[in-house]
Amino acid sequence: MEEIVKKIRQIPDCELSLGHDLTSFTTFKLASKGDLIEVKSVSGLQKLLKLLTEAKTGYLVIGWGANQILPSECEDFIILLDFAFNLQEFNELKDEYELPASVGLNHLTACAVKLGLKGWEVFTGIPASLGGAIFMNAGTNLGEIGSLIKKVKLVTPEGELREELITPSSFSYRKNHFVKKGEVIVAAVIGHHGVDTYIPQKIKEYLEYRKSTQPLATKNCGCVFKNPAKDLPAGKLIDLLQLKGVGFGDLRISPKHGNFMENRGKADWDQFRSLVELINFEMDHFYGIEFELEVKIPYH
Ligand SMILES: Cc1cc2nc3c(=O)[nH]c(=O)nc-3n(C[C@H](O)[C@H](O)[C@H](O)COP(=O)(O)OP(=O)(O)OC[C@H]3O[C@@H](n4cnc5c(N)ncnc54)[C@H](O)[C@@H]3O)c2cc1C
């Protein structure tokens, strides 16, 4: 361990912090601790991944942590990207934008409002980094981000830079089909469908709708489960079983939205696991359905 720590500290643009409190690195804020590496350049990331791979050392990338739960003690290095980006680029209308993976979707939405970019309303209100949104093919009932992405740049575990040209089969519901194990998205080219003066209004209305239907002011991880089918929302099924408000300790199923869990204080990993088990037991018993987790859980 000492040797690898020394080598990581020699890589430019990589800042290592051992035993870091990672609780605030996910939106759910379950207590977590681990070794954090903040990476400020693609070249730094290339050197870092090559080193970790050669040393057979595990790592995990985190974006905004809006769809990820970290265990109380992380075994692997946690990598956080923080690439420079000049927001002035969003002042100019272009056919497509090449953006770093670490940029927040909130900035893209602000740009869509300013310029009226058609298509960019699909990710209205989703808390995410661009990299995390592409990895998850994040979307709303207005559409998915995958439909706008043209090219993705990634760093392989060997430290090579590679480009993926996006085709209609690159994504499916909340999934990408091209990020291979250990690869990290570093940038993407995103297009749009022209300019429409109605877009700012559409985004505003959709934000209002989200505020009224989701517990946005709470500590949560978005939708915990994938919908078992397009017209069968997991939240609706949980609601039908009257499980809203049910929980363990500081963790409960949101009274506002059945597919959200709220951490009302110091909820922990065990309480989360117990609540998932309870929901799946009830689902199986009454509907013969077992939910698949949408939220990402390392090591499970
Ligand atoms: C209040 C709330 C509302 C939400 N609403 C929605 C919604 O409407 N629609 C929706 O789709 N989602 C929603 N989510 C979930 C979440 O916002 C999305 O899944 C989002 O895409 C996660 O992005 P992130 O940057 O936080 O990624 P993280 O949660 O940090 O990571 C998610 C996964 O992506 C991987 N990853 C992250 N960055 C990279 C990278 N650069 N390269 C390779 N892999 C990477 C991680 O390792 C992990 O496996 C919501 C979440 C919250 C808290």
CATH number, residue 129: 3.30.465.10
**Domain with 51 in it:** 2-81
Question: Does the residue 18 lie in any domain?
Answer: yes
**Alpha carbon nearest to ligand 1 atom 10, residue:** 138
pLDDT band at 34 (very low <50, low <70, confident <90, very high): very high
| Ligand 1 pocket check for 101: Cβ under 6 Å | yes
Residues 91 and 77 in one domain: no
Residues 91 and 190 in one domain: yes
Residues 92 and 152 in one domain: yes
Q: Could you say which of 170, 199, 228 is where a domain stops? A: 199
Model-wide pTM > 0.85:
yes
Residues 29 and 44 in one domain: yes
Residues 118 and 190 in one domain: yes
CATH at 51: 3.30.43.10
284-295: pLDDT as tens digits: 999 999 999 999
92-113: pLDDT as tens digits: 999 999 999 999 999 999 999 9
| Ligand 1 pocket check for 135: Cβ under 6 Å | yes
Ligand 1 atom at shortest distance from the alpha carbon of 215 = 1
Residues 106 and 189 in one domain: yes
Q: Could you say which of 81, 111, 138 is where a domain stops? A: 81
Residues 97 and 127 in one domain: yes
Residues 126 and 56 in one domain: no
Residues 72 and 118 in one domain: no
Question: Does the residue 211 lie in any domain?
Answer: no
* Domains contained in the chain, number: 3
Ligand 1 atom at shortest distance from the alpha carbon of 66 = 26
Question: Does the residue 209 lie in any domain?
Answer: no
120-167: pLDDT as tens digits: 999 999 999 999 999 999 999 899 999 999 999 999 999 999 999 999
> What percent of the chain is modeled with pLDDT above 90?
90
Q: Could you say which of 167, 199, 231 is where a domain stops? A: 199
Residues 91 and 181 in one domain: yes
Question: How does DSSP assign the chain, residue by residue?
Answer: -HHHHHHHHTSTTEEEEEEEE-GGGSSS----EEEEEEE--HHHHHHHHHHHHHTT--EEEESS-SSB---SB-SSEEEEE-----GGGGGS--SEEEEETTSBHHHHHHHHHHHTBTTGGGGTT---BHHHHHHHT-EETTEEGGGTEEEEEEE-TTS-EEEEE--GGGEETTEES---TT-EEEEEEEE---B-TTHHHHHHHHHHHHHHHS-TTSB--S-SB--SBTTB-HHHHHHHTT-TT-EETTEEE-SS-TT-EEE-SS--HHHHHHHHHHHHHHHHHHHS--PPB-SB-TT-
**Alpha carbon nearest to ligand 1 atom 52, residue:** 222
CATH at 269: 3.90.78.10
Question: Does the residue 280 lie in any domain?
Answer: yes
Residues 76 and 100 in one domain: no
Ligand 1 atom at shortest distance from the alpha carbon of 298 = 49
Residues 193 and 237 in one domain: no
pLDDT band at 299 (very low <50, low <70, confident <90, very high): low
